[in-house]
Structure 1
Amino acid sequence: MTAEPATQNASPGLWRIADEQPDRIAVVDPERGDFTYGELVAAANRYAHGLRALGLETGDAIVLLQPNGVDLLAGYFAAMQSGLYVVVVNWHLVGSEIAYLISDSGAKAFLAHERFAESAVAAADEAGLPASARFAVGDIPGFRPVSELGHGQPDTAPEERTAGSPMLYTSGTTGKPKGVRRPLTGEDPHEAPMAGRWFFGIFGLEPFDDHVHLCGSPMYHTAVLNFVSISIHLGHTAVLMDKWEPEEMLRLIEERRVTHSHVVPTQFVRLLALPEEVRLRYDVSSLRNVIHGAAPCPREVKQQMLDWWGPVVTEYYAATEGGGTAISGEEWLRKPGSVGRPWPGSTVKILDDDANELPAGEVGTVYMRMGSSSFEYHKDKQKTEKSKVGDMFTLGDVGYLDEDGYLYLCDRKSDMIISGGVNIYPAEIEGELVMHPKVADVAVFGVPNDDWGEEIKAVVQPADGVSAGDALTEELLEHARGRLAKFKLPRSVDYVDELPRDPNGKLYKRRLRDPYWQDRESAI
């Protein structure tokens, strides 16, 4: 079953749609199937009443530790109509890391899934959460069934309602994660968020219009959750995957007539690795906009996806903190390798190390600003100030603007290799090596070299059935010699069974790089 066609007078907004079209399909849960707008709102309303009954007030926080599913969304939308901050936790974290998020956010309720029982119990205990604040989907020792949170509560919306907000934690690969806590807007949650409508407008996604969104990545990622929640607000059915598999994605696109999705480049690579007969087996003609970000996409991968799916592939570059760029498939064919121009209201500048603005074509640090929007890292003024120059901030990425204002990214500044005084960007090397048919995944970084300071190391995950060894190394280096300048060639290649990525494709490069530097430090 897919989304019902919109009526001419239909109004966007989760609660409005539930009032006007309660039987319209809002969510397709990966295990439990179709849920209507009426059913989703009833669950969110019961949760909201239950949270108020626990004593939570506007400005308080809750933490969700749950897989993709309707239960996560019910908790999320309960917070979003109750003036609460909601932290959606990466379920790969261990108990102590989750405890930090509970404590740092000041959460007064914790809704976890039995799939993550061990880490949930450890986190709640370490954070000192009382038993009355612990709720479980399924069975978790010491947790109350989540059904008790809304037990006996009405399905109708609470009398006191004001818009809540996600409390987002940015990259935890260096030090403690940084919480971004924006001031609450005071908006009426019954209205579809204007920011969401504006954001989808960048990609040409309008309310209703027979849209179906496919979510294949975990919703603890900011962008993934945004795409799902905005889709639902705009009357787009959200089809959720529990675990992303390339052929299953193609099957769901055909079965549910999916129109848009949010993906990452590693998913493109895995889709392209499918045998041609598998790729051609499924009808993907319903797709209108497949949007990708979160990591650099090798040019050849992007080109092959455009050849297969047509110019429906859109790229964006953005930050939790605000601001970004976007580029359509048609534009990218004219400006290959670019991540686009600033979207409306956003400003992008390239600054040198002295905060001077650089002209077109010169490489420097990318700084952004979104209108007059401001943010701060929760309880960390120093981190806030370190990321800013004036009213602009940086994610630490390096790039340049061309003469038409299109942004090109080179790499993360922290990942840049300096060998013999020359700046080398690993992303370019990774983009060439990953296209070799015997490479499933690759990471490139700098390791110590007594003469040059750093030398280039490649760590490769061989494709299934491929044996690692000297013969493969020589084959890969020969492949690279025809595509890269000599100074960009890896000096050595190591092999691992699997690179440390999270399900959204983010590579934890420090886990690979640090041992090489630790060995150097221990030898000094």
Structure 2
Amino acid sequence: MTALVKPLPLDLGPLFEVLAERRPPIRVELGRPLDLAADGGSSWTTERLADLVRDTAAWLAAAGARPGDRVAVVKRNHWDYVLLACAAVRIGAVPALLSDRVPPDGLAVLLERLEPAVLVTQRDVLGTARSAGHDLTRLARRTVCLDGPAEGALTPDDLRGHPVPAVHRRPDDAPLTVNHTSGTTGVPKLVVHSTRTLIRRLAAFEARRWPVLSARRQDTVASAISFAHGRAVTWTASAFWRAPGTFAILPDSDPSTAAALLRSHPPTILEALPSTYVRWQQLAAGPQNPFRDVRLYISTFDAMHPPTVRTFLSASERRRPLWMQGWGQTETGPLTFRFLTRGALADSEQRHPTTRDLGRPLPGWVRLKVVDPATLAPVRRGEPGLVLTRTGARCLGYLGESDRWEAKAAGPWFNTGDLGVRTRDGRLLLLDREVDMVPGLSCVEVEDVLHDRLPEVEEAVLLAVADGRPLPVLVTGDGELDGERWRRAVHDLPPLAEPVVLDRDAVPRTGTGKVRRHELRERLLAGTAAFGSGRWT
């Protein structure tokens, strides 16, 4: 299939230069100025972005980054993660994008594995790490601090004035980027992708003209994701190639700061983290709802719950707005897609919420099989098991953890670590992560039911307890929940322990907004055992 079409010129290093030369003009509006160019304002054009990438490439080279070296980036969330990645790739280096939400101990481990030539960061990242006993500047040959002087670090101003290096070309199968997994169960894994897997396979596929999915010239495309994630790279390359008129990029999920940009530039296509959609429900239900013109919502990264999807589909005044639910992993990219409509989620009392149905893999691009966790032998359709996938977008491996990679890579297949059921017609029904499983129960299904029945609950997490009932952890705006409402909500569910109710800020989260279940478990259930083996985390 890929051999029948000419490759798109989406090479990451000169991406914005190519866009400026070959695509229609694009306007980029930001929720706040870039950390990479704090004085550059919040409105950008493709030409200005190309200049910024070239200038950044020059000072990265002056800092000592050479072809094949790794450039680690750790900073607060913003789209300039991608611009820094383009600059590093342009000079032949390999950008490693690390979220500042990784705890200092884990961050130090990742930097030790990376051995970066250059670390690009900010003062608060360095300060937080030092308070925890880690001097991150010792873990790179040179550190560049974006927001001013810091001990052991240079600033970009110290490095400016050097010539812009020529674009460095690399083989399609050589390392291109390093991103980390969510880290919900401990220290994240460092995932290495190549140009072939990340750009030729994923970004180029999405950049083709597809019904419904592809942005049009009149669209305003909004993104509010974790820009340290590999999805930010593929989204940037593919969405910018489609050349909609305007991009609205939101680095902060706080409704009070996001509202102004969303109302000034109402999106027609919106992609956001699941946790961000949850926080923005109040905007969608408010009198100045900025989502009236959305024709397509996109969600990946984590499970979405039916009430949130319903809220946003109802907020659109389009005749038939769609919600595209994607399932995949950092190691593989998207694996299945499903479109949800208002009608698909109309029954709020259903026992098996439709968001657990992840749809089908794309024929010819992704294959799935469900196997017995003990023997890895395929099971029949309709029986639960571990989900394995085969895709040309599978990453090159885990940096510094080859044994861990070999445990998950079975020949051309990859063990997702998820439990699911393949239906007779080929759809995938998600049950749980293997590490989080409870025999005879789908935790994610129960969590969905709790969300349906308790609208005040922003997050429901079920923690397995091998010698007792599963522990529900419920997040509400004020950390409170009426006991009688809880009892009515669970009267027909499997037996659960009394819930722990927390406010939003008390829950540890990853850079993609997922709950750090391992950390939450240690906090609430230290010393208790779970059911899952955790062999494939």
Q: TM-score, normalised by structure 1?
A: 0.82
Q: Matches of residues 8-23 of structure 1 in structure 2 within 5 Å? A: 13-19=15-21
- Deviation string 1:98-138 (CA, Å, 9 cap, x unpaired) is 332222122111111234341466755464434x4434333
- Deviation string 1:411-450 (CA, Å, 9 cap, x unpaired) is 11111123xxxx22221222122231342332211235xx
- Given that 1:112 and 1:120 are in contact with CA atoms closer than 8 Å, whether structure 2 keeps it comes out as no
Q: Secondary structure in 1 aligned to 2:193?
A: coil
From 353, 364, 379, give the equivalent of 2:385.
364
Q: Which amino acid aligns with 1:336?
A: T
Q: Distance in 1 between matches of 2:77 and 2:464?
A: 37
Report the Cα offset of residue 463 of structure 1: 3.5
User: Does residue 134 of structure 1 match 2:151?
Assistant: no
Q: What is the aligned partner in structure 2 of residue 377 from structure 1?
A: 398
Q: 1:66 to 1:399 in 2, by over 3 A?
A: same
- Given that 1:114 and 1:137 are in contact with CA atoms closer than 8 Å, whether structure 2 keeps it comes out as yes
Q: What is the aligned partner in structure 2 of residue 495 from structure 1?
A: 501
Q: What is the aligned partner in structure 2 of residue 417 from structure 1?
A: 438
- Given that 1:369 and 1:392 are in contact with CA atoms closer than 8 Å, whether structure 2 keeps it comes out as yes
From 423, 448, 453, give the equivalent of 1:431.
448
Q: Matches of residues 91-170 of structure 1 in structure 2 within 5 Å? A: 91-119=100-128, 125=136, 127-130=138-141, 132-154=142-164, 158-162=166-170, 165-170=176-181
Report the Cα offset of residue 146 of structure 1: 1.4
Q: Which amino acid aligns with 1:343?
A: L
Q: Distance in 2 between matches of 1:332 and 1:142?
A: 58
- Given that 1:253 and 1:283 are in contact with CA atoms closer than 8 Å, whether structure 2 keeps it comes out as yes
From 371, 376, 381, give the equivalent of 1:351.
371
Q: What is the aligned partner in structure 2 of residue 270 from structure 1?
A: 279
Q: Distance in 2 between matches of 1:401 and 1:314?
A: 20
- Given that 1:442 and 1:460 are in contact with CA atoms closer than 8 Å, whether structure 2 keeps it comes out as yes
Q: What is the aligned partner in structure 2 of residue 3 from structure 1?
A: none
User: Does residue 341 of structure 1 match 2:367?
Assistant: no
Q: What is the aligned partner in structure 1 of residue 51 from structure 2?
A: 42
Q: Matches of residues 9-408 of structure 1 in structure 2 within 5 Å? A: 13-19=15-21, 24-26=26-28, 28=30, 30-31=32-33, 32-69=41-78, 71-119=80-128, 125=136, 127-130=138-141, 132-154=142-164, 158-162=166-170, 165-183=176-194, 195-201=202-208, 204-206=212-214, 209-236=217-244, 237-246=246-255, 249=258, 251-273=260-282, 276=285, 278=286, 280-309=287-316, 310-322=320-332, 324-330=335-341, 333=344, 336-337=354-355, 338-344=357-363, 345-353=365-373, 354-371=375-392, 373=394, 375-408=396-429
Q: Secondary structure in 2 aligned to 1:30?
A: coil
Shift >6 Å, 4+ stretches: none
Q: What is the aligned partner in structure 2 of residue 4 from structure 1?
A: none
- Given that 1:251 and 1:282 are in contact with CA atoms closer than 8 Å, whether structure 2 keeps it comes out as no
Q: Distance in 1 between matches of 2:524 and 2:104?
A: 28
After the TM superposition, which of the residue ranges 378-387 and 139-148 deviates more from structure 2?
139-148
User: Does residue 462 of structure 1 match 2:476?
Assistant: yes
Q: What is the aligned partner in structure 2 of residue 7 from structure 1?
A: none
Report the Cα offset of residue 63 of structure 1: 0.9
Q: Distance in 1 between matches of 2:273 and 2:241?
A: 23
- Deviation string 1:204-253 (CA, Å, 9 cap, x unpaired) is 44476234332223312332453245333443444222321346545533
CA-based RMSD of the aligned residues comes to 3.3
Q: Distance in 2 between matches of 1:16 and 1:287?
A: 29
User: Does residue 477 of structure 1 match 2:487?
Assistant: yes
The answer for unaligned runs of 5 or more in structure 2 is: 1-7, 34-40, 346-352, 530-537
- Given that 1:22 and 1:36 are in contact with CA atoms closer than 8 Å, whether structure 2 keeps it comes out as no
- Deviation string 1:44-85 (CA, Å, 9 cap, x unpaired) is 112223333444332221011223446434322112323321
Q: Kindly, what percent of the aligned residue pairs are identical?
A: 19
Q: What is the aligned partner in structure 1 of residue 534 from structure 2?
A: none
From 435, 440, 443, give the equivalent of 2:461.
443
After the TM superposition, which of the residue ranges 63-72 and 383-392 deviates more from structure 2?
63-72
Q: TM-score, normalised by structure 2?
A: 0.80
Q: 1:69 to 1:373 in 2, by over 3 A?
A: closer
- Given that 1:102 and 1:127 are in contact with CA atoms closer than 8 Å, whether structure 2 keeps it comes out as no
Q: Secondary structure in 2 aligned to 1:137?
A: coil
Q: Distance in 2 between matches of 1:51 and 1:378?
A: 22
- Given that 1:365 and 1:397 are in contact with CA atoms closer than 8 Å, whether structure 2 keeps it comes out as yes
- Given that 2:73 and 2:98 are in contact with CA atoms closer than 8 Å, whether structure 1 keeps it comes out as yes
Report the Cα offset of residue 331 of structure 1: 11
Q: Distance in 1 between matches of 2:415 and 2:393?
A: 16
Report the Cα offset of residue 144 of structure 1: 1.4
Q: Distance in 2 between matches of 1:193 and 1:235?
A: 18
After the TM superposition, which of the residue ranges 194-203 and 57-66 deviates more from structure 2?
194-203
Q: Distance in 2 between matches of 1:269 and 1:24?
A: 29
Q: Secondary structure in 1 aligned to 2:166?
A: coil
- Deviation string 1:260-291 (CA, Å, 9 cap, x unpaired) is 22223333333334584x1x423534323211
- Work out which structure has the larger RCO, using CA pairs closer than 8 Å and 6 or more positions apart in sequence: 2
- Given that 2:223 and 2:250 are in contact with CA atoms closer than 8 Å, whether structure 1 keeps it comes out as yes
